[in-house]
């Protein structure tokens, strides 16, 4: 049976060596195209995936570019079908959920650095602006963190009613807002300050203190409280 399988798939020995190499040494021993080649084994069981891996890197410029591409864009590359596109697109999404799961409810967020590190993974794969709110108890322990607004590529619509309902449902004492800038620049805008002022006033009316608004750009973040943007509120 093994011999028959190898005759049907002449790349079986190569695939076995690649898998053994990964299990023994991890991905640090792989070049970028080899990582994609290994991944594609599980979407293309009977094809030489090396050529396709190189095509992906040529099309998107880097490993990062490949994983950030949409499934539709991926399928424009010769050799990439539905299964391969879904598998590639799944990788960053799984990574995002993994990092979120590592810092779930119960995490203590007692300074802006801790808040920023907690929130960054939630925005890893987003191509549009989104807003999240973290609900905290009196000891600054996370009660919940949920999306409360979504927009296009340059703005985010804020669901004020949803914000109040979330804070009340969690019996929150404190809250923190966070949203991303798709430009990659974590610089608060005048609109960001205006929205923060409004949300802070609304939450204060129900006994919840908004302590900060974190603006995220790529892998960077800015605390509006630490930067003095909220000093006049």
Domains, the chain, with CATH or none: 2-100 (no CATH), 105-223 (3.40.140.10)
Please report the pLDDT score of residue 1 as a whole number: 44
Which residue, among 132, 134, 136, 113, has the nearest Cα to 123 in the 3D structure?
Answer: 132
Please report the pLDDT score of residue 218 as a whole number: 86
- Per-10-residue mean pLDDT of the chain, 233 residues long, equals 50 85 92 96 89 96 94 96 96 91 85 94 88 96 93 72 96 97 89 91 96 93 91 59
Pair 97, 121: CB distance under 8 Å: no
Please report the pLDDT score of residue 3 as a whole number: 45
Pair 45, 83: CB distance under 8 Å: no
User: pTM of this prediction?
Assistant: 0.77
Structure tokens at 26: 């991890």
Please report the pLDDT score of residue 14 as a whole number: 87
Beta bridge partners of 134: 145, 176
Pair 212, 230: CB distance under 8 Å: yes
Beta bridge partners of 209: 174
Which residue, among 189, 181, 178, 191, has the nearest Cα to 126 in the 3D structure?
Answer: 181
């Amino acid at each position: 049976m093994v011999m028959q399988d190898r005759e049907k798939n002449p790349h079986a020995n190569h695939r076995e060596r690649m898998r053994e190499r990964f299990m023994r040494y991890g991905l640090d021993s792989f070049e970028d195209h080899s990582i994609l080649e290994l991944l594609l084994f599980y979407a293309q069981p009977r094809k030489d995936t090396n050529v396709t891996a190189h095509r992906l890197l040529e099309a998107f410029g880097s490993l990062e570019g490949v994983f950030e591409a949409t499934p539709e864009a991926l399928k424009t590359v010769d050799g990439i079908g539905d299964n391969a596109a879904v598998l590639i697109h799944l990788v960053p999404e799984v990574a995002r959920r993994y990092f979120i799961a590592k810092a779930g409810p119960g995490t203590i967020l007692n300074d802006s650095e801790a808040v920023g590190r907690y929130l960054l993974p939630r925005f890893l794969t987003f191509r549009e602006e989104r807003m999240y709110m973290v609900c905290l108890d009196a000891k600054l322990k996370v009660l919940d963190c949920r999306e409360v607004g979504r927009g296009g590529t340059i703005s985010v619509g804020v669901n004020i009613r949803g914000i109040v309902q979330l804070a009340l449902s969690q019996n929150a004492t404190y809250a923190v807002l966070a949203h991303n800038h798709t430009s990659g620049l974590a610089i608060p805008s005048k609109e960001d300050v205006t929205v923060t002022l409004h949300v802070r006033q609304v939450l204060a009316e129900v006994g919840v203190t908004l302590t900060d608004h974190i603006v995220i750009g790529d892998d960077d973040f800015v605390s509006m409280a630490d930067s003095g943007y909220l000093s006049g509120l």
